[in-house]
Amino acid sequence: MKRYNKNLNILKQNHIYSESMEHDACGVGLIASTEGKKTRRVVEYGIQALKAVWHRGAIDADGKTGDGAGIHIEIPTSFFKEKIENYGRQYDSGEICVGMIFLPRNDYNSQEKCKTLIETELLKNNYNIYRWRQVPINTSVLGPKAELTRPEIVQVIFKSNDKSLNSKFLERKLYETRRKIEKRVSNNQINGFYICSLSSKSIIYKGMFLAETLSDFYVDLQDERFVSRYAIFHQRFSTNTAPSWDLAQPFRAIAHNGEINTLKGNINWMKIHEQEMFSSIFEDIENIKPVIPSGNSDSASLDNVFELLNISGKSAPLAKLMLIPDAWSKKSKILPRDHQQLFNFLNSTMEPWDGPAAIAATDNEWAIVATDRNGLRPLRYTVTKDNLLFAGSETGMINLNEEKIVSKGRLGPGDILGVRIEKGKVYTNKQIKNYLAKEYKNFNNQIIDLDKKFLIKDEKNIFEGVKLRQKQHCFGYSLEDLELILQPMVEDAKEATGSMGDDTPLAVLSDKYRPLHHFFRQNFSQVTNPPIDSLRENKVMSLKTRFGNLGNILDFDNLTEKNIYVLESPILSNSQFENLLSFFGDNYKVINCTFTKEDNLESSLNKIRKEAEIAARQGITQLVLSDKYVSEKNVAIPMILCVGAINTYLTNLELRGYVSMNIQTGEALDTHSFATLIGVGATTVNPYLALDSIYQRFIKKLFGNYSFEECVKRYIKSVNFGLLKIMSKMGISVISSYRGGCNFETVGLSRTVVNEFFYGVISKISGIGLTGIEKKIRNIHKEAFQKSSNILPIGGIYKYRKNGETHQNEGKLIHLLQSAVTNNSYDLYKKYSKENYELPPINLRDLIDFKKRTPIDIQNVEPVEDILKRFGSGSMSHGALSKEAHETLAIGMNRIKGASCSGEGGEDKNRFKLMSNGDSSNSRVKQIASARFGVTINYLNNCNEIEIKIAQGAKPGEGGQLPGFKVTKEIAKLRHSTPGVSLISPPPHHDIYSIEDLAQLIYDLKQINPNARIGVKLVASSGVGTIAAGVAKAKADVILISGHSGGTGATPQTSVKYVGIPWEMGLTEANQVLTLNNLRHSVTLRTDGGIKTGRDIVIAAMMGAEEFGVATTALVAMGCIMVRQCHSNTCPVGVCTQDEELRKKFTGTPEKVVNLFNFIAEEVREILAKLGFNNLNQIIGRTDFLKQVSKGSSNLDDLDLNPLFVQADPGENKRYCENSFINEVPDTIDQKIWPEIKELIENNQEIRKEYKIENTNRAVGTRISHHLYNKYGDNHLEENSIQLYFKGSAGQSFGAFGVKGLKLNLKGDANDYVGKGLSGGTIVIKLRDESNLTSNENTIIGNTVLYGATSGSLYAAGQAGERFAVRNSGAKAVIEGCDSNGCEYMTGGNVVILGEVGDNFAAGMTGGMAFVYDLSNKFEKKVNPESVVWQRLETEYWKSFLKDLISIHVRETNSSFAKKILENYENEITNFFQVCPKEMLDKLDNPITLKKNLGIAS
Amino acid sequence: MPEKMLKFVDIDQQNPSKRDKIERKADFNEIYDEFINERAKEQSSRCSQCGVPFCQIHCPLSNNIPDWLKLTAEGRLQEAYQLSQSTNNMPEVCGRICPQDRLCEGNCVIEQSGHGTITIGSIEKYITETAWENGWVKPIDVTNEIDKSIGIIGAGPAGLACAEQLRKEGYQVTIYDRYDRSGGLLIYGIPNFKLEKFVVERRTKLLKDSGVNFVLNFEVGKDSTLKELKNKHDAILIATGVYKAREVELPGSSLDNIFPAMEFLTASNKKGLGDKVEMFDNGTLNSEGKNVVIIGGGDTAMDCVRTSVRQKAKSVKCLYRRDKENMPGSAREVANAEEEGVEFIWLSNPKEFKGSKKIESLIVNKMKLGEPDDSGRRKPIIKENSEFKIEADIVIKALGFDPEELPKLFGEEKLQVTKWGTIKTDFDTMETNIAGIFAAGDIIRGASLVVWAIKDGRDAAESIKKYLALKEKQNQKVA
C-alpha cells in the first residue's frame, strides 16, 4: 500500500493519472413499498439484491476489496431513539437527524478537528447534538486495500431546535449546513473526511467491500428495526483502482450506473449557472458554491446537481428531466405535443448530462428509477401483489414467488418510473411527464425559434480575387484543403473519405504552418461508454443552439421574462449571420480579433478580453468575434485562442452566462475546426472564408447545377453531420453539453496556454506557448501577403507532396523496403531503417534515444525466433484486404509463429485446415468487433486468441460501412450477408456500453473458447491507463494500445488526423497505471500504430510493451505503395481491393513478410547487443534507459517528454506478463451440467433434467456449446438433439454462441444478451407455469438480444428490451414486442414481432426480413425509413412463411396471445407489416410483392 | 457524384497520335499531334491520385502532377495551367522533350503496377498550349520595380528560368548570350521535330515583353570581362551550358567530314529558322544522299540520327558501345529513331577512321559488357578479333559535352572550377567562390536535362534574392 501511494503520487505529479480520468459502471436498483409502509422486507431485499449483482462489480487483485457498494434507506427512528436513550440522552419526539460520516482513520488530531468543526457548525445553526456514535463494523470482510484505506466511520445524532421548520425546510437547512461543514474541513486542509449523508430523512451505508458483505460489514443493517419504504442500492465497477470509500454509492440523491460523457462541459456550465443562481431559501448562496466540489467523480458531480435541484424544490422526476432529458427534438411524430413543450422548456434551463445512465434516486418525496435518452443501461422492474416494486439492472435479483408477480417491465429510453413514498402510489413514465408538462409547458412560449426567421437566401460572398487568396493563405488554406476537403463537403454534402493512417508529423513537430486546431485531438469513448451512431440513431442527437438561458435554475417561479432564442444548428451562413446581428439590434459588440504587426499576441489577447468584459458589463448579450479584418497590416489571432481566452476570462469573472459568443472566422473549414471552436465555447460560427471559397468554386461551376444557396446549405449540412459525428464519438448527443466542454487533449501545446485558455483540455507533454504560436502566425501572414506567386500552397497534409508536409512513408523508403524484402537483403533494410531515422521528426519517439551502455556480443542475445513470436501484423480484415493479401500475410505470420489477425470480417473455414505444403493461412487471432461479422462458434474455436476491437487507431469512436460494390460473393459468404448489399459496422459494441459489459463479453468468450487468450484493443488517449486497469480487472489477457497513426480502409479525413494520440503516450500511461495497480504482470501489453523498425520495437518495449504489431509496413512489404485509395476499390497493386482484375496485380509473397519480420527482429538483436542486454524481457518497461534528445528546431525544446519516462515501482512483480496460463473467470453452471449430460449423450440417453437458474448464472449454454463443438463440429448435430431445461431468471448472455443441435428451454425470464452470437442453437423462453402474467404485456428478455447471431432460433413469449436482433445475420426469432432500435443493422435472418416496437425500428437494416404485428397503428411512426420499405403482406409465400413461424412459437412457448392470432390468421394478417431492406428488394428469391412498380410506403 | 478520377481501371492508356513515319520523315515538324480536349480529360482521369505520387517524386521540378491532372480531368484547364506554371517556367518544353519514361511516367504507380502510365508529358504540353492559345500566358506585370539588377550569362533554359523568377519579383534582369538568338540548346541544339522553334521564341518574346533585357551576340571575355559585368550588376548568374564536344582520339580523327554533333545540329536548326548557313548550303553539313554514321547513345545522338533521316541521308547508322538496355538516351527516342529507319549497331566502338582526305569508312570493334563500373552501368570491353568495317560519308561525334575553360574565357582566373571543369559552387546557395556571382545549369552539373537546368535556374533565383536581401540589410546597418 505504501508502494501504491508512492506510485500514485509519482504518476499524479507527472500528469499521468488523475481521479478525473476514472470511469465506473455498476449494478443499481430500487426497492419500494407501494403502500407507503416502512417494512423490514424492503431493507432485506435491498441487501439481498446486492448479493445478486456481484458480477457487475469488480474485485481487486486481493480478492476482497470491491469497487464499492452501498444502500440508501430511511432513518430507522426506533433504532436511533434507542441509541440516544442508551447514551443517557432524552429523545424529545422531534425528527432525529443523523450524519453518517467518514473521518480520517489514522490521524486522531484530524478526527478531533473534524468533530469540533461539525459540532461548532451544528451548534451555530441551532441544532442540538445528542451524541456521536461509533458505527459498529466487521473489518474481517474487508480486503487489505479496503482495510488500509478504511476511514473511521461515525454517526452524529442530533436534532434541530427550531420546531417551526417543516421537514422540507429542515432538509434544506441540513444541506446548507453540510456544505458549510465540508468547506470548513476543506479549508483546514484535512483529507479523508466525507459526509455520506446528513439528513432527518434518510441514511446511507456504503464502503469498499464486496456487495454481498454489506450487512456483514455494517452490522446495524441486520437489526430488525431497520425498516424503510425504499431502499436504493448500488454496486460499483470502476476502471480506477485508487480505492476510495467516498466514491462508493449511493450518493445523497442518486445511485448512478453509467457514465457522463459531457462531464467537462457540465462542470464548466455549472460554474456559469452559479453566476445567476440566487435563492431566498438559503442563508447565503455562497455557502453552496461551488455546487460541484473539484475532484468529484462524474456520478458524484451529477449527484451534487441533482441534490441541489431537489433541495431547491424540484421533485426528483423534474430534476431527472432537466439533467437527463429525453431525446425529443426529432421525435415530433411519436411524442405528445405537451411533452415536447416541456422538454423544450427544460432544454432552455440546463445542458443535459449526457451519457448512458440508469439511475435510482430519491428526494424523500419520490423514489424513482430512470434511464438516459438512449436507454443504454438496462433497467428491469417487477411489481408484486404484496405491494412491492423492484427495479434494477437485472431481472431476478431477488427470488420472488412467481404467482405474486403482477407485472414485469423494463424502462425504455428516457423513461421514468416513480413511487410517491408517502402513499406508495406508482406512477408510470407517461403519468409523470403528463403531470410535469401541465405545470411547465407554458414557459415554452418564451422560446423563439430563429430558423424560420433566418433562411439561407440571398447569400453573398464577402471577398474575391487576390484578397480572397491572401486570406485563404494566411488562414492556412491549401489547394489540397479546397480540392480534397471543401469540394466534397458541397458536392456530396458530406465529409471526404480517405484511407490508411496518418504518417505526418504531429502538429508540434512540424516545420510547416499548422493551424492551431491541428494541435487539438478529439476525445472519444471506449469501453466505459459507447459512442453513438450519428447516422442511424440521429434522432437522439441535437445541434439545437440557444442564446442565453432562462436564468436562475434554482427558482422556476421567477424566471426571466426575456425571450430565449434557439437555432437548429450553430453554423450560420453569411446572410444568416447578418440577419442575426440586425435581429439583435444594438445589442451586440464586434471584437476585432486581429492585431497590427507592431503589436503583439499576448497584449492583443488581453485587449480583446477587456473589450468582452466591458461589453458584458454594459449588458450586451451578443459578442461577435471576427477575424475578417485581417489585412497586410493586421495579423489574425488564431480564433480558437480568442474564443478560449474570452470564454475562460468571462467565466472567471462570472460574466459568461450573460453573453453568447458568435464567431465570424476564416479559420473554420473542415469539421474538426468547427468542433474545436464550439468545444472551447463558441455559440455560433460563421465560416465566411470557407463560404467565399465555395463561391469561388461556384462561379467556376464546380458544383454542377446547384445554386450558391444550395451549395451553402450542403456545406452547412456536411458540417452539421461532422459535428454530430465528432460528438457521437465520445457519446455526446447534444451540442449544448459539448459546447465549452473542452473535450480535447492537445499534443504539444504548452500547459500554461491550456490552463489559461482551454481549461479542462489535457496537455500531458506540454509544448509551444504564445511566443511560438505568434511566430508561426506572423510567418504565414508574411508569406500570404508578400508572395508574388498567385497560387496557394499545395498542401500535402493528407497526401504526400514534395514541397508539402513530411510523410514517413515516402517514396524512396517504400522502394528501399520493397527491394530489401524482395532480395532478402538485410543491408538494404538497414539502409531503410537508417533513412527512416534521419527523416525530420514525425513521432514523439523521434525525439527519444537510448542511453549509452556497455555493449555485449550479439551471440549472447536471444535468437531471432524468440523475438518473432512477439510480432503481429495488425488486424486487417479480408474485405479491406484482398483475399490474396490477407492469406499471404497470414501464411507469412504463421511461418514466423507470429500473430496474424482475421480482422472484422470473418474467415473462410477452409483456412482453418493446414495447407498441403504445411503452411497455414489460419489467422491465429480472431477479431470480434462491433459488427460481429462471421463470428460463429467455428470461428471462435479456431484460434488461440480473440481480440475484442473496442476502437481502432485511425478512427476511434466510429463505425464503418462496407459499400455494396465491395461486398463480393466471397465477402458476403464470410460475413453472412448478401452480395452487393452494404454492410454497416456500428460505432459501439452493442453489448459493451460500460466496463462491466466488457467483463461480461470477456466472460462469454472465455466460456466459448476456454483456451484462447482474450485481448482488448484500445486506442491511445489520456486516461487509457485507467481504462486498461479496468480491462485487466475484467480479466482480459492481452491489452493492445494502438497509436493514432494506425491505418484504415476508409474513414472521414479528419478522423484520421485528429483523433487518438501517439502510442508512446498511451502505452506508457497504460503500463504505469497497470503497474500502479499490481495488474501489469497479469496481462500482456501489446502496442501498434506506425511501428516500422527494430528501433521502434526496442523503444516500445522500454515503454512497457511486450508484443508488437506491424501492419502498414507489412503491407508495404507485400507491395502496397501508399496510393491511399483503399476506399475506392481501385488499389492498383491488388492489396486492398476486391476487384478481380486488380487482385491479379498482387505481387506479395509470404517470403517477403517473413523477410521483413526477420529483418526487424535482427535489428532488435543488434540494438539489444549494443545496449548490453540478452533479451527483450530485460528492457520491458525500463524507460530509465531512454532519454529525450534535441533534434532540429528550437520549438521542440518546449516539449516535455518526462511523463513518458515515469516509472511505477512494480515491487515483487515483474514488469511484464508472467502468466503462461489464461486469466480465470468464475465457473458458470455449465461446468456442473456438462459432465452430467456428457454421460447421457454418450449413453444415448434422453436428457430431461431441469436446472434451477439465477441471474448470477451467466452465459449458460455457452461452455456446453464449446464442448459440443469439440465433439461434433459446428454443423453435424441434428437440430434440437440436445435439450436442456431451466427454471428461474437467467443471467446475461443466456445461450450465447449456442451451437446447432443445442436447445435451451427456459421457464421464467432472462436478462440482456440472450442468444448473443447464436450459432445454430435454439432458445425458448416462456412464462413459468404458475405465472399469472399475460405474455405480450410483460417483459421476458432484456436488451441486445441475438446480437450478431449467425443462425439458430429464438422464441420468447413476451417483450424484449432495446436493440432486439441488432446485427442479426441469420437467426429466426419470434417475440411479442420490443423497445427501440429493434432489428438495427440486421443483415439476415427473420424476425417476427407480435406487438409494439419502439422507436427507430430497422435503422441501418440492410438484410433479412421482419414482420411486425401493429394493432395500434403506431408502427409507421416508429420505423426508420432510411434503409427499409414496409407493406402489408401480399404474397402467399410470405404469408405462409409468417404463419409457420408463429405456429412454431405457439408450439414452443404456449403463448395464448400468439395462439389467438393464429386462430384468426386470415383477418389478423392484415395487421402485420412486412419490413424489407431496400437493397434486398431485387435480390429476393421470393419477392414481397407481385406488383411491378414498387409503390411502397417508404 | 461519381468519382471523376481513378479511371485507369476502365480506360486504357492512349498517347496523342504519332504522325506516320513516312509523313514525319518528310519534314522537320513535331511528330506528336495535340490531344483533343476530351481525350486529354479522359487520359488525365486515369490518374490514381496516389498518396505517394512517385511521378512527382521523380520530377526534378517536383511538379504537382496529380493535382493538375485532376484539374485537367475536371476541365479546369486555366487552373491546371496556373498550377503547372507555378513550379515550371516552360511546361510546354518539358512536356515535349523530357525523357518522361525515365522520370514521371516511368515511375507512375499505374505504370509500375502494369496498367500503362498516365501520359503525363502529353497532358502537360496540352495544358500549356491551351493556355497560350487562350491568352492565359501573359507577360509579367511588374508593379513594384526593385532597383537591383542581375546579369545572366547564357540564354538557355537555366538562364531564362532564373530571369523569369527574378523579374516576377521586380528585379532588373539582363541576359547576355553569344549566339544571335536566345534559347541556348533549346533553339540550336534540339531539332524541330522534337521542339518546334516557335515554342522557344514565344518564351523569349514573353520575357522581353515582361521587361527582361536581352543582349545577344555578346561574348563575355571578349565584349566585356566578367569583372566588368559584375560591376554593372548587383549579381551575376553564369548559365553558359557546356559546349565543348568530347573528342574521339583515334587514328584518322582529323579527316574531313567528321563533325561534332552541335555543329551539325546548329546548322540544321539555323536552316530551319530560315538563316543562311554556308557550310550547309555548300553541302558539307547536309546529309542528303550520304552514308551517315553517328557515334554515341545519348539524346544528342538520337537528335543527330533523326535529323539525318530528315535530311534524306542514304543510310543512317548509330554506333553505341553498350547495348540497348544500357544506353543513356530516352528509350522513346530510340524507338522513334528505329521506326524512322535508323540502323543501330549496339555493342560497337570505332577503332579507326579511314579515308584519304575525307572520311570514307570506319573500322569498328565489337564490344561485350563486363562488370558494372563506377557509374553503375556495365563496362564495355573489346571483343577480341571482332573488327568490321562501315562505309561513311559523314561521321558525327555525339559523345557528350565538356565545359569550356571559363576562367580563361571570361578573363577571370580567380573563378574556381572542379576537376571536370564545371564551375565550383556552394551546394546550398549556388554561389561561386566570387561573392555575388552564381552559376546554374549544365555549367555546374555537366551536360544534363533541360528540366534540371530549369530547376537550377529557379533555385539560383531564390539564392540571388536572398543574397540581395542580405546585402541590403547589411548596407542599411552600415548606413
What pLDDT sits at residue A58?
67
Rounded Cα distance between B235 and A1174, Å, is 62
B53 vs chain A: nearest CA distance in angstroms? Answer: 7
Q: How far is CA A926 from the centre of its chain?
A: 23
Is residue B133 packed enough to be buried (19+ CB in 10 Å), middle (13-18) or exposed (0-12)? exposed
Percent of chain A with pLDDT over 90: 78
Rounded Cα distance between B32 and A1468, Å, is 77
> A353, A335, A355, A354: which is closest to A343 by C-alpha?
A335
Whether B474 has its CB under 8 Å from any CB of chain A: the answer is no
Answer yes or no: do B54 and A811 touch at CB < 8 A.
Answer: yes
Rounded Cα distance between A518 and A1317, Å, is 41
Minimal Cα distance from A1145: which residue of B?
A: B113
Count of alpha carbons within 13 Å of A191, Cβ hemisphere only?
6
Whether B70 has its CB under 8 Å from any CB of chain A: the answer is yes
Rounded Cα distance between A856 and A851, Å, is 15
Q: Give residue B6's region: left, alpha or beta (phi > 0; psi -120 to 50).
A: left
Rounded Cα distance between A1260 and A1249, Å, is 15
DSSP reduced 3-state for A121: helix
Answer yes or no: is pLDDT of A586 > 60. yes
Answer yes or no: do A1128 and B3 touch at CB < 8 A.
Answer: yes
* All three cell numbers of A891: 501464411
Rounded Cα distance between B333 and B326, Å, is 14
Answer yes or no: do A1132 and B57 touch at CB < 8 A.
Answer: no
**Any idea which of A511-525, B7-21, B86-100 has the lowest mean pLDDT?**
B7-21
Query: Are A972 and A1388 spatial neighbours (Cβ–Cβ below 8 Å)?
Result: no
> A1022, A1261, A1247: which is closest to A523 by C-alpha?
A1022
A711 vs chain B: nearest CA distance in angstroms? Answer: 14
A839 vs chain B: nearest CA distance in angstroms? Answer: 16
Whether B82 has its CB under 8 Å from any CB of chain A: the answer is yes
DSSP annotation of A979 reads T
* All three cell numbers of A756: 489559461
* A16-75: pLDDT as tens digits: 777 666 666 678 999 999 999 999 999 999 999 988 877 776 666 666 677 789 999 999
Answer yes or no: is pLDDT of B379 > 90. no
For A597-603, what is the mean pLDDT? 95
pLDDT band at A1495 (very low <50, low <70, confident <90, very high): very low
* A902-955: pLDDT as tens digits: 998 899 999 999 999 999 999 999 999 999 999 999 999 999 999 999 998 888
Q: Which of B3, B45, B48, B52 to mutate to test the interface with A (most CBs of A within 10 A)?
A: B52
What pLDDT sits at residue A1303?
96
Answer yes or no: is pLDDT of A698 > 60. yes
Percent of chain B with pLDDT over 90: 79
Query: Are A1374 and A408 spatial neighbours (Cβ–Cβ below 8 Å)?
Result: no
Answer yes or no: do B51 and A799 touch at CB < 8 A.
Answer: yes
Contacting residues of B for A1128, CB less than 8 Å apart: 3, 6
pLDDT mean across residues, chain A: 92
Ramachandran angles phi, psi of A546, nearest 5°: -120, 150
Q: Is the peptide bond before A290 cis (omega within 30 degrees of 0)?
A: yes
pLDDT band at A1052 (very low <50, low <70, confident <90, very high): confident
What pLDDT sits at residue A1221?
80
pLDDT band at A1352 (very low <50, low <70, confident <90, very high): very high
Answer yes or no: do B49 and A799 touch at CB < 8 A.
Answer: yes
> A1022, A1069, A344, A1067: which is closest to A742 by C-alpha?
A1022
Whether B168 has its CB under 8 Å from any CB of chain A: the answer is yes
What pLDDT sits at residue B405?
93
Query: Are A571 and A714 spatial neighbours (Cβ–Cβ below 8 Å)?
Result: no
What pLDDT sits at residue A228?
97
Query: Are A1381 and A1344 spatial neighbours (Cβ–Cβ below 8 Å)?
Result: no
Answer yes or no: is pLDDT of B1 > 50. no
For B452-473, what is the mean pLDDT? 95
DSSP reduced 3-state for B77: helix
What pLDDT sits at residue A21?
65
pLDDT band at A667 (very low <50, low <70, confident <90, very high): very high
What angle do the packed helices A708-729 and A688-699 form, to 10 degrees?
A: 140
* All three cell numbers of A1326: 416462456
For A197-219, what is the mean pLDDT? 94
DSSP annotation of A497 reads E
Answer yes or no: is pLDDT of B397 > 50. yes
Rounded Cα distance between A678 and A688, Å, is 16
Other CB atoms within 10 Å distance of the CB of residue B429: 15
* B103-131: pLDDT as tens digits: 999 999 999 888 999 999 999 999 999 99
What pLDDT sits at residue B7?
86
Query: Are A1011 and A1222 spatial neighbours (Cβ–Cβ below 8 Å)?
Result: yes
For A994-1018, what is the mean pLDDT? 95
Other CB atoms within 10 Å distance of the CB of residue B123: 26
Query: Are B241 and B185 spatial neighbours (Cβ–Cβ below 8 Å)?
Result: yes
Rounded Cα distance between B130 and B34, Å, is 10
DSSP annotation of A1486 reads S
> A763, A1021, A1077, A1027: which is closest to A15 by C-alpha?
A763
What pLDDT sits at residue B29?
87
Answer yes or no: do B113 and A1132 touch at CB < 8 A.
Answer: yes
* A123-177: pLDDT as tens digits: 999 999 999 999 999 999 988 888 988 999 999 999 999 888 888 899 999 999 9
The model carries a pTM of 0.93
Question: Concatenated DSSP letters for A126-190?
Answer: TEEEEEEEEPPB-GGGS-HHHHHHPPEEEEEEEEES-TT--HHHHHHHHHHHHHHHHHHHHHTT-
> A877, A1100, A1056, A1070: which is closest to A956 by C-alpha?
A1056
pLDDT band at B406 (very low <50, low <70, confident <90, very high): very high
A1153 vs chain B: nearest CA distance in angstroms? Answer: 19
Whole-angstrom CA distances from A568 to A624, A969, A1408 are 19, 43, 36
What pLDDT sits at residue A792?
92
For B144-164, what is the mean pLDDT? 96
ipTM beyond cut 0.95 = no
Answer yes or no: do B70 and A483 touch at CB < 8 A.
Answer: yes
What pLDDT sits at residue A1259?
97
What pLDDT sits at residue A239?
63
For A321-344, what is the mean pLDDT? 91
Q: Give residue A189's region: left, alpha or beta (phi > 0; psi -120 to 50).
A: left
> A711, A712, A719: which is closest to A673 by C-alpha?
A719
For A1440-1452, what is the mean pLDDT? 97
Rounded Cα distance between A230 and A672, Å, is 48
* A1093-1125: pLDDT as tens digits: 999 999 999 999 999 999 999 999 999 999 999
Catalytic site positions of A: 26
* All three cell numbers of A49: 439484491
pLDDT band at A1498 (very low <50, low <70, confident <90, very high): very low
Minimal Cα distance from B116: which residue of A?
A: A1132
Contacting residues of A for B58, CB less than 8 Å apart: 811
Rounded Cα distance between B210 and B138, Å, is 9
Minimal Cα distance from A502: which residue of B?
A: B51
Rg for chain A (alpha carbons), in Å?
32
Ramachandran angles phi, psi of A13, nearest 5°: -60, -30
Our separate counts of H helices and E strands in chain A read 45, 51
* Residue pointed to by grid coordinates 463561391: A695
The answer for residues whose C-beta is within 8 angstroms of residue A166's C-beta and 6 or more apart is none
Rounded Cα distance between B442 and B423, Å, is 10
What pLDDT sits at residue B145?
93
What pLDDT sits at residue A242?
63
Is residue A1487 packed enough to be buried (19+ CB in 10 Å), middle (13-18) or exposed (0-12)? middle
> B84, B80, B81, B14: which is closest to B56 by C-alpha?
B84
Contacting residues of A for B56, CB less than 8 Å apart: 801-802
* A1134-1181: pLDDT as tens digits: 999 999 999 999 999 999 999 999 999 999 999 999 999 999 999 999
* A372-411: pLDDT as tens digits: 999 999 999 999 999 999 999 999 988 889 999 999 999 9
Query: Are A92 and A438 spatial neighbours (Cβ–Cβ below 8 Å)?
Result: no
Rounded Cα distance between A1413 and A1377, Å, is 9
